[in-house]
Amino acid sequence: MLTILFAARPDRWDAYEAPLKRAIAATGLTDFRVVTEAAPEEVDYIVYAPNSDVQDFSIFPNLKAILNLWAGVETIVGNTTITVPLCRMVDTGLREGMREWVTGHVLRHHLGMDAQIKGTPGLWDPRIPPLARNRTVAILGLGELGTACAETLLALGFTVTGWSRSPKSIPGVSCFHGPDGLTECLSAAEIVVLLLPNTPATENTLNARTLAAMPRGAFVINPGRGPLIDDDALLAALDSGQIAHATLDVFRVEPLPADHPYWHHPQVTVTPHIASETRPETAAEVIAENIRRSESGEPLLHLVDRSAGY
Ligand code: NAP
């Protein structure tokens, strides 16, 4: 019998138990169990959230793969006890959620909605926003989530540029890559959206130099990871007016400490890491498909490149 260990915070079990069992059964596998506790030598697969208590994988001698529930793997990728394939989460629910969150926050800044939402009663000050086609949005990170956001923004008419590690070709998107491509990508970016993974190479992607490369009065939206931004440099850029506003969903320390300047800065919107979440029904299908593939000797989907860190 296959034993699939669910290793995530206990409150997630209620949401995942039924979808996982259903999705695995739908692949045709019959002799399996999905459990939250098992003798280590019996475990074949671990469905994993990096904030679970399981951190030492060397105790599972028969483990075949770790199937991560999160898209970001920065807290597990360096775990030296892992000797089996590690797969990250690519989930349509995660993608849809991110598309909606990013589009909403891009439109807020594009349309200048704050002027009315936070406006002064009695002040009639008509300012017509430009059309989307006259606004350039840069997406840093053209992976699963960045590409989905780029496509939605393109469909609304925005001029979309993007940046990745390797060269990309996405219809309608001006794509840049590598360290040299970043400044060029940012030079026209009136709104920048960060959807990079957190790796040593992406830390402080937005810093004093790259923030200065953006057009004056640009907007920063970060649903990626906190370390992508040099916080002191961003605060200085906000204070000087180089950056008009930052909408931040992720931080170096979460929850964001109560005394962090971001909470009280008038040009910063803090959201509590809610941009998107793995959805149990669709994520269970991704996990089940990888178990099916592994059991039939087919290549696994969404393998993490542990040397690249994502
Ligand atoms: P992904 O498919 O792995 O895409 C990552 C993108 O970043 C790729 O285009 C990659 O380039 C690019 N990249 C990586 N290192 C780079 C570097 N050094 N320079 C330039 N580009 C680089 O990841 P994803 O599924 O889209 O997810 C992106 C991130 O979103 C996750 O890692 C996670 O941190 C974050 N996230 C946040 C939330 C939230 O609720 N806030 C939810 C889910 C995910 P290549 O294409 O060349 O490989």
List per-residue pLDDT tens for the chain, 310 residues long: 999 999 999 999 999 999 999 999 999 999 999 999 999 999 999 999 999 999 999 999 999 999 999 999 999 999 999 999 999 999 999 999 999 999 999 999 999 999 999 999 999 999 999 999 999 999 999 999 999 999 999 999 999 999 999 999 999 999 999 999 999 999 999 999 999 999 999 999 999 999 999 999 999 999 999 999 999 999 999 999 999 999 999 999 999 999 999 999 999 999 999 999 999 999 999 999 999 999 999 999 999 999 999 9
User: Of 253, 258, 204, nearest to 231 (Cα)?
Assistant: 204
Q: Enumerate long-range contacts of 19-26, CB under 8 Å, 24 or more apart.
A: 19/280, 19/281, 19/283, 19/284, 20/47, 20/280, 20/284, 20/287, 20/288, 22/284, 23/284, 23/285, 23/287, 23/288, 24/284, 24/287, 24/288, 24/291, 26/285, 26/288
- Mutating to test ligand 1, I would choose from 76, 94, 165 the residue with most ligand atoms within 8 A of its C-beta, which is 165
Q: Which domains can be identified in the chain, with CATH numbers?
A: 2-91+278-296 (3.40.50.720), 93-270 (3.40.50.720)
b/e 72-94 (16+ beta carbons within 10 angstroms → b):
bbbebbebeebeebbbbbbbebb
For the Cβ of 173 lying below 6 angstroms from any atom of ligand 1, the answer is no
Task: In whole angstroms, give the CA distance from residue 286 to residue 182.
Answer: 33
Is 216 assigned a catalytic role?
no
Cis amide leading into 272 (omega within 30): no
User: Of 109, 75, 147, 154, nearest to 247 (Cα)?
Assistant: 109
Is 109 assigned a catalytic role?
no
For the Cβ of 248 lying below 6 angstroms from any atom of ligand 1, the answer is no
Residue type, 52: S
Task: Please give the number of the atom of ligand 1 that sits closest to the Cα of 223.
Answer: 41
Task: Please give the number of the atom of ligand 1 that sits closest to the Cα of 148.
Answer: 26
